[in-house]
Amino acid sequence: MNMMENSKTKNIITAIALSLVLASCKAPMATVIKDEVKENIPQNFNQEEQQDANNNSGTTPWRQFFTDPNLVTLIETALKNNQELLITLQEIEIAKSGVLAKKGRLTPTVSAGIGAGLKKAGRYTSEGAGDATTEIEPGKEMPDPLGNFEAGLNASWEIDIWKKLRTEKESAVAHYLSTVEGKNFVLSNLIEEVADNYYELLALDNQLDIIQQYIKLQQRALEISKIQKEAAAATELAVKKFEAELAKSKAAEYTIRQQITEKENQINALLGRYPQPIVRTKENFMSTIPPTVYTGIPSQLLANRPDIKQAELELKASKLDVEAARKEFYPSLEISATLGLEAFKPSYLVKLPESIAYNLAGELAGPLINKSAIKANFQTADAKQVQALYEYDKTILNAYLDVANLMSKVKNIDQYYQLKSQETKALDQSIDIANQLFRNSRADYLEVLLNQRDALDAKMELIEAKQKQLSTVVDIYKSLGGGWK
């Protein structure tokens, strides 16, 4: 009879296990994604020119790329104090904790505890009737009410039979690594911002010098016009025009001074500090020669740009999340165990082995009927996987376009700067000629004013061209993946 019952029990357990396995076979399949953007990345940034894979400025450390000691000092301060960077570092710590949490699920959970309780069963119940006729020891009846004192260890462990927990841990590791790359991208952006704002500040300094020189020029022109008016060689209109131009120039000076203050504070904000003067040397700004930038080949962006590597790791994590969500359809095996001492009086706890109590159980469970929550989690993970692929493709495409656009900009801004230099020289000469003619009453005051205005605008634009020239080189350096090493 016992053998028949054992056989039936085994058959029932086998049937349940088979039903769980069969149910798990109905788990949906993940969307198959193909990364065509990565596979079809062009061989060169410019199809008309061949790039050298051995020369890539993106691998140059930023301390070697930037040679201005004042700028280097500013960057070093920003890397220590910038709030956005500090926030990103905490995101890395959060992701690291996520890895530890997933890793902890692979090992058994063990806890220790003690407890005490008191229970009284009704006399006319099976438990109460049994206690009333039971002796703890010969001559000693079961206490009523019955106490319960216990101390021991509890353990539980989910056996990772489908490697679901390992997959979740691998996903957490990939996400952690993506936050590290995210930090590198913040570093690259931060260095670019500090350098760009620094060059803009130097440009404003030089524009302030130009406007101050123009003010002196206007003051001399005003004095000459007054002298000529007294000699009846000029009219009051000429005097008023020069006065108006002088006032306009002085107003422009204060506008530039305000821009300098705001730009200094913008740099201070990047450096994570309160307003203070920015140490700089403006005299050599216009003679600064931008470093030569070598682009390498487009495929190197995949290894050099931290935002691409971050997107790639997030794509990897999302794929692992889909795999883990799919394994939720499979049955899980959990083992629980208890080992300790238990007695109705504290003094009996030390009576061994009678007070020893233990329990060991295994449970194989899986979803059979209502799987809507599991299906929803799987569909969400699958959609996020496709979304991560699109984000990865977009990042690669934008990186390639950034470099291609900036390569063209470097060439065009160089030509623009050369032509502006020629324009400035020609207008400087025309100012001297116009002033000489005006002194000799051979030129109208309007000719002098127009020449001076054109020369001022040309010098201002030349300074802006130098700033754009330097900033464009910084931007392409960052676009190639430089600035975080």
Read off the pLDDT of each residue in 308-320 and give the average, rounded to a whole number. Answer: 96
Read off the pLDDT of each residue in 366-385 and give the average, rounded to a whole number. Answer: 86
Q: Which of 319-328, 360-369, 448-457 has the lowest mean pLDDT?
A: 360-369
Same domain? For 449 and 350 the reply is: no
Report yes or no on 6 lying in a domain: no
pLDDT at 368: 67
Q: Using 50, 70 and 90 to split pLDDT, how confident is the model at 247?
A: very high
Query: 365, 388, 419: which is the final residue of a domain?
Result: 365
Residue 239 clears pLDDT 70, i.e. is over it: yes
Read off the pLDDT of each residue in 319-328 and give the average, rounded to a whole number. Answer: 93
Cα separation, 137 vs 73, in Å, equals 85
Report yes or no on 235 lying in a domain: yes
- 65 contacts 482 by C-beta, under 8 angstroms: yes
Same domain? For 210 and 72 the reply is: yes
Tell me how many degrees the CA angle 402-407-410 measures, rounded to the nearest 5. Answer: 120
pLDDT at 349: 80
Read off the pLDDT of each residue in 353-367 and give the average, rounded to a whole number. Answer: 82
Residue 238 clears pLDDT 60, i.e. is over it: yes
- Give the residue, 20 or 66, on which the prediction is more confident: 66
Residue 430: other Cβ atoms inside 10 A: 17
Q: Which of 199-203, 270-274, 326-330, 412-416 has the lowest mean pLDDT?
A: 326-330
Read off the pLDDT of each residue in 232-248 and give the average, rounded to a whole number. Answer: 83
pLDDT at 445: 62
What is the average pLDDT score of the chain? 87
In this structure, what token pair is assigned to residue 310? 């971050």
The candidate with the shortest Cα–Cα distance to 302, out of 58, 122, 117, is 58
Greatest mean pLDDT among 94-108, 128-142, 179-193: 179-193
Same domain? For 346 and 306 the reply is: no
Report yes or no on 342 lying in a domain: yes
Cα separation, 475 vs 483, in Å, equals 10
Report yes or no on 9 lying in a domain: no
Residue 48 clears pLDDT 70, i.e. is over it: no
Per the structure, how many domains does the chain have? 2
Cα separation, 139 vs 286, in Å, equals 109
Same domain? For 230 and 346 the reply is: no
In this structure, what token pair is assigned to residue 306? 């931290």
Same domain? For 284 and 337 the reply is: no
pLDDT at 37: 86
Q: What is the pLDDT of residues 424-477, one digit of tens each?
A: 999 888 777 776 766 666 666 667 777 788 888 999 999 999 999 999 999 999
Same domain? For 211 and 344 the reply is: no
Read off the pLDDT of each residue in 382-401 and give the average, rounded to a whole number. Answer: 95
Residue 21 clears pLDDT 60, i.e. is over it: no
Read off the pLDDT of each residue in 357-386 and give the average, rounded to a whole number. Answer: 86
Residue 119 clears pLDDT 70, i.e. is over it: yes
Residue 315: other Cβ atoms inside 10 A: 25
Cα separation, 351 vs 278, in Å, equals 79
Same domain? For 337 and 189 the reply is: no
Show the domain range for 456.
28-107+174-331+376-480
Residue 47 clears pLDDT 50, i.e. is over it: yes
Question: Residue 273 — φ and ψ, nearest 5°?
Answer: -140, 165
Same domain? For 236 and 90 the reply is: yes
pTM, rounded to two decimals? 0.84
Q: Which of 113-117, 244-248, 458-462 has the lowest mean pLDDT?
A: 113-117
Same domain? For 278 and 337 the reply is: no
Query: What percentage of the chain has pLDDT greater than the value 70?
Result: 91
Same domain? For 344 and 284 the reply is: no
Report yes or no on 194 lying in a domain: yes
CATH of the domain at 232: 1.20.1600.10
Q: Look-up: residue for tokens 């260890």?
A: 153
CATH of the domain at 126: 2.20.200.10
Report yes or no on 485 lying in a domain: no
Report yes or no on 434 lying in a domain: yes
Report yes or no on 37 lying in a domain: yes
Residues 323, 328, 332, 335, Cα dihedral to 10°:
90
Same domain? For 303 and 242 the reply is: yes
Same domain? For 40 and 79 the reply is: yes
pLDDT at 8: 57
Q: CA distances (Å), 304 to each of 54, 192, 296, 401, 403, in order? A: 13, 16, 11, 15, 13
